Amino acid sequence: MDRGEEPVLNQSLLEEPSSRNSPAEDPQAKSLPSRVWIETKKLWRVVGPAIVARLAGYSMNVITQAFAGHLGDNELAAISIVNNVILGFSFGLLLGMASALETLCGQAFGAKRYPMLGIYLQRSWIVLFIGCILLTPIYIFASPILKLIGQTDEVAELSGVVSLWVLPLHFSYAIQFPLQRFLQSQLKNFVTLWTSLVVLVFHALISWIFVYVLDFGIVGAAVTLDISWWLQCIMLLVFVTCGWCPLSWAGLSMEAFSGLWEFVKLSAASGVMICLEFWYYRILILMTGYLEDATLAVDALSVCMTINGWELMIHLAFLAGTGVRVANELGAGNGQAAKFAAKVSVAESSFISLFICVLVIALHDKIGYIFTSSTDVLQEVDHLSYLLGITILLNGVQPVLSGVAVGSGWQAWVAYINLFCYYIIGLPLGIVMGWVANLGVLGIWGGMILGGTAVQTVLLAIITSRRDWEKEARTAGQRVKQWSTPDPDTRTEEQQ
């Protein structure tokens, strides 16, 4: 097929479709509102479907926990622990490792080196599959690990059974996460949106059948997650390999095994960056469990974290959208356009978080009714609602700046910043405010926000604002050349 016949993949990322037959137009010459509107449309082509897909995936776990909750308290505790601790650990690490594709595929797409997207996808499959194998002992020895950190024998044993049954789900991450980033980097993520919605409905149906109709109990609840995640994997795999990505997928290639070490280093940096962040607030819940009135504190904090988790899905979608837009523009050699894309994304994400923050604070004494009718828990949620509002406000900026880092390839720097802010400043400050100052959960969470999240956001903002974006574009161009096979068109021109 002639390259000129590909209207979507081959048009310039900075031009409207109608401009292909007209003289080149400088985007800087347009008015600011016009530029913002154009960038907003490009950004939301990724963010919109990503929000729906992430909310659907989050809701699948909620559905499973809801069905398990009707089986008994121990079953609910076991499913919750496996979802949030066992699966949560591998989810955060493997999701982060897959985000290396947002850098490489996004920049290769911007540079119009489309065949390399398929090569990068296969390299990511290899690296993540090896990562899954290395993480498997956590699932096999889940029961003794949980006993070691203080879980009761009954809950730990049941969690160990569930963790073995969700091993297939664990390995699905190695296939699905790279596929999602491969598709979103070339703006084909609407397929992820629709498959997520289909699988969500399917998951609710088979959960009811397995748990109630077939009476498979907690094992049935775990198996439904395996089936649903692998169903989406298969649907995305069929889309990619059966002709809907003709320029970026040319079949399996031995070239995927070359340059693996460099790919491993970028994937590892990405994994550490996301995992350190992903685990930060899970540690908050674990620390709260050691307070004197732990049950009340954990219940109230769980309500706040659930609200925060749902809201965070919006800004994680902005992380993905920002990563794609920045990577696309840097790959195309447009440093100033990448900088402008970052500014628009931060502004729009911040506006959404500000609106939700105001809503949470205005309804501070009512938001707990969504999850509980306990007077004590409602009062504790009321006390924590202002910290929840601050956390939501920071959500509007921090993930977007992480998206800029992913799109630019700064993952290693951000991993060091996360380690410093979260675990050297934030956690100790939370411990001091929680126990030494005797402020309880309010002190732990407040210390972790002020010492960790807020400091990290300020540092990322300073780094982002001081970058030389034209230099970043040149670096992206060098990375694409270094990690790519020679472009056929360029090679032909050189031979002539």
Domain stops at, among 206, 226, 258: 258
Mean pLDDT of 24-50: 81
Check residue 149 and give its pLDDT: 76
pLDDT exceeding 90 applies to what percent of the chain? 27
Examine residue 78 and state whether it is found in any structural domain, yes or no.
Answer: yes
Query: Which of the given ranges, 14-18, 86-90, 324-328, 341-345, has the highest pLDDT on average?
Result: 341-345
Residue 458 has pLDDT above 70, yes or no: yes
Question: Which two structure tokens, joined as six digits, stand for 51?
Answer: 């929000």
Together in a domain, 336 and 384: yes
**Residue found under tokens 């137009």:** 25
**Residue found under tokens 């929000």:** 51
Together in a domain, 164 and 306: no
Check residue 3 and give its pLDDT: 38
Number of domains in the chain: 2
Alpha-carbon gap, residue 271 to 10, rounded angstroms: 31
Examine residue 121 and state whether it is found in any structural domain, yes or no.
Answer: yes
Mean pLDDT of 418-445: 87
- Dihedral class, residue 253 (left if φ above 0, else alpha if ψ from -120 to 50, else beta): beta
Examine residue 319 and state whether it is found in any structural domain, yes or no.
Answer: yes
Together in a domain, 334 and 375: yes
Together in a domain, 89 and 139: yes
Together in a domain, 107 and 226: yes
Domain stops at, among 197, 226, 258: 258
Together in a domain, 435 and 298: yes
Picking from 222, 229, 223, the residue whose alpha carbon sits closest to that of residue 65 is 222
Together in a domain, 303 and 442: yes
Alpha-carbon gap, residue 37 to 68, rounded angstroms: 45
The overall average pLDDT reported for the chain is 83
Domain stops at, among 258, 288, 315: 258
Mean pLDDT of 183-192: 87
Examine residue 353 and state whether it is found in any structural domain, yes or no.
Answer: yes
Q: Please check whether residue 360 is in contact with residue 389, taking contact to mean a CB–CB distance below 8 angstroms.
A: yes
Entry pTM: 0.81
Check residue 225 and give its pLDDT: 92
Together in a domain, 123 and 194: yes
Together in a domain, 386 and 426: yes
229: containing domain: 44-258
Among 195-209, 274-288, 312-326, the range scoring the smallest mean pLDDT is 274-288
Together in a domain, 360 and 417: yes
Residue 6 has pLDDT above 50, yes or no: no
Residue 10 has pLDDT above 50, yes or no: no
Examine residue 419 and state whether it is found in any structural domain, yes or no.
Answer: yes
Together in a domain, 372 and 435: yes
Instruction: Concatenate the DSSP letters of all residues of 196-229 into one string.
Output: HHHHHHHHHHHHHIIIIIS--HHHHHHHHHHHHH
Question: Which two structure tokens, joined as six digits, stand for 194?
Answer: 């629709």
Examine residue 29 and state whether it is found in any structural domain, yes or no.
Answer: no
Q: At what angle do helices 398-408 and 100-110 cross, to 10 degrees?
A: 60
Together in a domain, 232 and 327: no
Alpha-carbon gap, residue 349 to 356, rounded angstroms: 11
